[in-house]
Structure 1
Amino acid sequence: MDSAKNMAYRQLSSVVNPSISTNFEPPTIINGSQFNRTTLSDNFQKQEQFFERIATLSTSEQKSYGYSVSDLINYCTYMGERCDLSNDFESFYNPLHGNCYVYNSGWNDSKQIVTATREGPKNGLEMVVNIDQMDYVKQAGSLAGIRVVILDQNQMPFPEDEGVSVGPGQLTYISLQRHEINRLGSPYGSCTEQLFDPFTSAYSAFYNVQYRAKGCEYTCYQKKIMHECGCIDFSYLNITALMENINADNMSLCQSGNFEQG
């Protein structure tokens, strides 16, 4: 590691492993649960503590600990033409995966969407990705590699729930076919043509992406947690800026072992 990465790693280690113990308490039995969560594994506790601490940092601090697109991608072409890493990729921060990068996203109206004119592995997107496994923080998980999600333009990826994992030292080909489904609105159903609705999906407000059912589910879940428990689930998007009658200053992060919040 170079000096800059060494410094960032030491800073991150101080965040992950503070000198003061956090006294993580295993949760008590939940009424109505189908199993007794009285004993949590050490790995689970460490991962929860890690992500909870990272969630307390500002967005800029969180991104600074992750890889930049130039550090992550060593080589990139689309239909044989070199990618412009600084302009061809949009980025977002995922609470579980860190810095994520989207090629040909359609999120920025000023950037032209590229299309493929021929099929085959040489006529699509080719990348060589730097895994740099030696720099991994073990508290973040035991897996190495990258997560690849393929979507249409103007849509938000959710790599924790979809996509494929690509391990280090592997040559991987991904081919796909597109199936388009058009759902009818009134009077045949309740579907709407309003694709950008921050009320039903906070991701539309933050990233200018179209409505997706998964984004709506995550938004509704976070709203429910904030109203019922008075805290923010760090695994999902922080939507306090969009919530009415919510004092963001009084809203803390939910503690994974505390089932009595709120």
Structure 2
Amino acid sequence: MSAVSVRARLQLVRDYKPHKDVQHLRILLYGPPGAGKSSFINSVDSALRGKIATRASAAANSGDSFTIACRTYKIQREDKNFYSFVFNDTMGLERGAERGIHVEDIKLAISGHVKEGYTQPPTLDDKAHILVLVIRADSVSIIDDKTVMKMKDVRAAARDKGIPQIALITKIDEACPEVKKDIKNAYRSKHLNQLMETASMNLGIPLNCIFLVKNYHKETDTNNDVDSLILSVLKKIIDYGEDYLNDQNDPDL
């Protein structure tokens, strides 16, 4: 992908303002521990700033979840203001009932109950405007049944509210040698296309709502081709979330 395309996507993101009477488009991330939720936030921050960012604390491996419950992240612009979208990063969705975030907690976050000590009903600004499932490429085929059921429960709650949903498959370079050699091969990879089809079949997510991404992990500088995938996904997230906002007749719904 050319640098021109990256610049064009950057400009579209920089120019974005929600059309409805909300301060920010709210993006809620969920998925298993170590899937790359926090890393995706850092990667978006890196792509937008042109330097590697590590504000969201990412798990070092796929063990216990690192993020505590649900945290909100804003990304600062060059003019010291903030971009017109925020991320809600949640704890990992784990198999056992005693570990990780509970499905009911994610449902509360979807409905806007993310502020400690809130006393009034959540406004449209508080609620999630798009739900993003994040899963690792090497785990797509081996997610246990209990975790899949939890994911489907979360998806059903969002569906009932009309909230759009997409899935991100991360760590694609580790799953495919062709992609590790050249990230531009992401959507050309037969293996990754098979993983997308498996995710669609197992989780009930349409194939055109599943995207591939490589998060920044050990890099010390940003890269145009990596940025291109990240910004392409971010643009889709904004588009789908904006469609949802435009469908809301009352900003306090």
TM-score, normalized by length of structure 1? Answer: 0.27
Using CA pairs under 8 Å that are at least 6 residues apart, name the structure with larger relative contact order, 1 or 2. Answer: 2
Rg larger in 1 or in 2? Answer: 1
Q: Which has the higher helix share?
A: 2
